[in-house]
Amino acid sequence: MHISLIVPCYNEEVNIQKGVLDKIGNYTTQDERFSEVLIVDDGSNDSSKAVIKNKYLKTYSKFRLIQNSHQGKAFAVLTGIKQAKGDYVIFTDIDLATPIDEVEKLIAKTKEGGQIVIGSRNNSRAGAPLLRKIMAKGFIFIRNIIIGLKGIKDTQCGFKLFEKQAALKIIDKLQVFHDNRIAKDSSVSAGFDIEFLFLGQKLGYKIIEVPVVWRHVETKNVNFIRDTIETLIDIFKIKLLDLQGKYH
């Protein structure tokens, strides 16, 4: 097994100062399964890129920095998948709300034939504000009514594994996230996960959802109300495109 670990990054100097990249580097450096760690910068305008270049690329030989213009998290992940050299790709949010050693749960499911393995908070969102928990449940209800995604509870956990060839075939059929967007501020592009999994089901790939440890981490890059509205718009776009036969 050769794994490319993808870490999207946008103005993450605070998280980097907390040592998240040290944790990732220390975990992967001696593990032969991990071929590379791709840090995909989404056009950061703080010190993130400089710290990565001057410290982490020199400290961890598997680290590679890829620089995008600012397009949102989805396109950072897409760039990482396209440039990955491994036969499996895993992406994790840089805040490590899910600890990096939880990748073992994802990797284990590949032995059961999982081509897409997604981490799930399993309705437990430790430390998240009550309003956010309520809105998350409402979002799941609306998503299920509009586009289904039968059998999948948590589409939005930023901790997923893909068989690379399956991921590339899905990427080729994306419609909402086919063309690059220009992001004005931080954008989690949550609709990407939904379109990706929606297509994964349509193409018949085996998707396995596995509970992982997750702890709420407050971040300025997430505006839950704005991001929820953006995602709902994307869900309606996916439904319309499906009705128009664009995904066939």
Query: Residue 159 pairs with which residues in a beta bridge?
Result: 92
Helices (H) and strands (E) in the chain, counts: 10, 7
pLDDT band with cut points at 50, 70 and 90 for residue 77: very high
Nearest-angstrom CA–CA distance, 200 and 171: 10
Examine the pLDDT at 180 and tell me if it is beyond 90. Answer: no
171, 56 in Cβ contact below 8 A?
no
pLDDT of 15: 94
Contacts of 205 (CB under 8 A, 6+ apart): 115, 116, 163, 166, 170
Domain ranges of the chain: 3-243
* Superfamily holding 3-243: Spore Coat Polysaccharide Biosynthesis Protein SpsA; Chain A (3.90.550.10)
Nearest-angstrom CA–CA distance, 181 and 198: 20
72, 183 in Cβ contact below 8 A?
yes
pTM: 0.88
Compute the Cα dihedral for 192, 71, 220, 3 and give only its sign. positive
Give the range among 52-61, 63-72, 187-196 with minimum mean pLDDT.
187-196
Determine the 3-state secondary structure of 59 from DSSP.
helix
Examine the pLDDT at 223 and tell me if it is beyond 80. Answer: no
With a pLDDT cut of 70, the percent of the chain lying above it is 85
Nearest-angstrom CA–CA distance, 143 and 145: 5
Pick the closest to residue 76 from 94, 63, 60, 99 (CA basis): 94
Of residues 75 and 178, more confidence is placed in: 75
Average pLDDT, the chain: 88
pLDDT of 150: 80
pLDDT of 216: 74
pLDDT of 111: 95
